[in-house]
Structure formats: structure tokens, C-alpha cells
Structure 1
């Protein structure tokens, strides 16, 4: 890629385009990238410079063109008014680290299952059961986040279609 846009250096959309440019020189140029993504060049520049928030459709188009499915997740977790309170941002790392994170989050699944059964036996979550129930919810969130990261890694690196995962 030619010169780096210092004002956009930490923008996730700019960084995704830079990553895509490593394997496709067409993304080295904002003009060509905008054409391939289907976004006006000046709009893409404003998105990369953080002067405007992209529309979800634009994020989806960039994620697909740049082969960075994590953009969709990051948009939902950081910028979407609804997603900010309900979507956890995932960190896509190497496969071996992701696999270990998934396995680590699943190691206590039998304990979680037993605890959930014990809490739900009477159909009521009592005050003394609330901390254990919160631990269950926290563990399930960790499992969910790690599973999402592994799914995004598969979509990005071995080109599994999102609807197939």
C-alpha cells in the first residue's frame, strides 16, 4: 500500500482495507476500493477518517470485499445503538489460540450444567442462588464469545460461508 493515512491510522475500516491490500493491490487505493465496495470515494474517506458512521449495508459490503467478517461484529459491538448493549466484540487471533480459548471456556460445562439444574429445580431463583446464576450467565457469555470468534476465523480463513456455520 502506498502512503499511510495518518489521520485514519486507528480506524477499523481503514485497517481492514490495508489488510485486504496485502493480498489485493486494488485495495491500496481508496478510489479503487470504493469502486469495488460500491461506496462513493468521499464517503469511504469520511468513514475511514471517523467523520461519519457507516450504514450497516456499507459495513457488510466492506466486510465481504475485504474478507474481514469481524468488521460486522465490531460495528455491532461499537457503533450500532442496539448492539452496543448486547453484542460482545470478539478478537480473532490464530486458530490454535482460538481453539484453546474455546476448549478452556468449555472445561467446566458439566459443573455449569449441574449448577443450572440445581438452581432451576424449584422454578425460582432465590437470592442465595443469584450469584451462582450470574456465574452461569458469565460462563455462557464467554463460551458464546469464543464460539463467535472461532466462527469468524473460519469464515475469514477457510472461507466457510456464514450461513453454513
Structure 2
């Protein structure tokens, strides 16, 4: 059994590996994780300690090996220079929390629909409608964040066809 790595304690990569080690005890050590993933042990240590960012390919491999889809969001929202500007951080939450967040985000849909129709009916954004467009954008970002939380929950908790959005 491995010791708790206090220097890496806040690393999502370390925490995901420790969570995965509850199912696969080989992942309890970096050596075992290196064998499972093919990522060099010292490279894994640098990633977990935050002294090196993982490559996108490494993140995909770790997320798959650890069954930790939240690592994909973490990488995009915190490590990737483009993603930091476009992706909001999101964590795997409990089912009831995810559903309440989704319901809250969808409140006001009728008002937003009416605003979009009002603005779009003449085919252009007139002066003065830019404030409404800002409100619409804020609403859509909130819905997107709730959808991302729901996707993470589904990827983490459901297997097979449900993860692909198929019946």
C-alpha cells in the first residue's frame, strides 16, 4: 500500500489515480500506474507534482485508465492555453446536485426564447439590443456549464450506449 503523497495532494491527476487505486491496486503506486499506462514514472511524478503539464494524449490515457473523465475538463480548463479562455472548470458531482444545477440553468428558457426571436426577426442586431444579446450569452454559458456537469456525471457513472447519447 502506498503512502499519501502530501506534495501532490491537490493534484487532480494524483487524486484520480488514488481513487482509481480503490478498484485497481496497481494504481496505488506511480510504478504500477506507469506499467498500466506506459507513461514514465518520473514523468508521472512531474505531472502529479505540477512541475510539468501533461500532453493531451497523456490526459486521454490517464482519464481512460483511471475512469476519470473530469481530468479532460481539468486539462482543457486549467492547462490548455486555448481552453483556459473557453472552457469552464467542472467537477464530477452527485446526481441530485447535477440535476438541480441543470434545472436551475434552464429556468427562464421562455424569456430567452422570446428575446432571441425578437432580436432575430429582422435579421440583424440593432443598437440597444446588444444588452439583450449579453444576457442571452450569459444564459447560454450557464446552460453549457450545467450540460458539461451532466456529461461528466454520465461518463463517470453510466457505461455503454448512454455515454454516446444513444438509446
Same fold per superposition (TM over 0.5): yes
Aligned length in residues: 165
CA 1:162–1:123: 2 relative to 1, 3 Å: same
Q: Distance in 2 between matches of 1:119 and 1:134?
A: 12
CA RMSD, aligned part only?
Answer: 1.5
TM superposition score normalised by structure 2: 0.93
1:2 deviates by 2.4
Give the match for residue 51 of structure 2.
51
TM-score after normalising by structure 1: 0.94
* Contact map agreement 2:30 2:44 (CA 8 A) in 1: yes
Q: Does 1:121 align with 2:121?
A: yes
CA distance in 1, matches of 2:91, 2:17: 18
Query: C-alpha distance in 2, partners of 1:38/1:160?
Result: 25
Aligned to 1:128, the other structure's residue is in SS state coil
Distance in 2 between residues matched to 1:151 and 1:92, nearest whole Å: 9
Q: Which residue number in structure 1 is paired with residue 68 of structure 2? A: 68
How has the CA–CA distance of structure 1 residues 40 and 28 changed in structure 2, closer, same or farther, with 3 Å as cutoff?
A: same
Alpha-carbon distance between aligned partners in 1 of 2:162 and 2:68, rounded to the nearest angstrom: 12
Partner Cα distance (1:160, 1:104) in 2: 28
Distance 2:110 2:144 in 1: 16
Which piece of structure 1 moves more, 63-72 or 104-113? 104-113
Task: Please list every run of 5 or more consecutive structure 2 residues that lacks an aligned counterpart in the other structure.
Answer: none
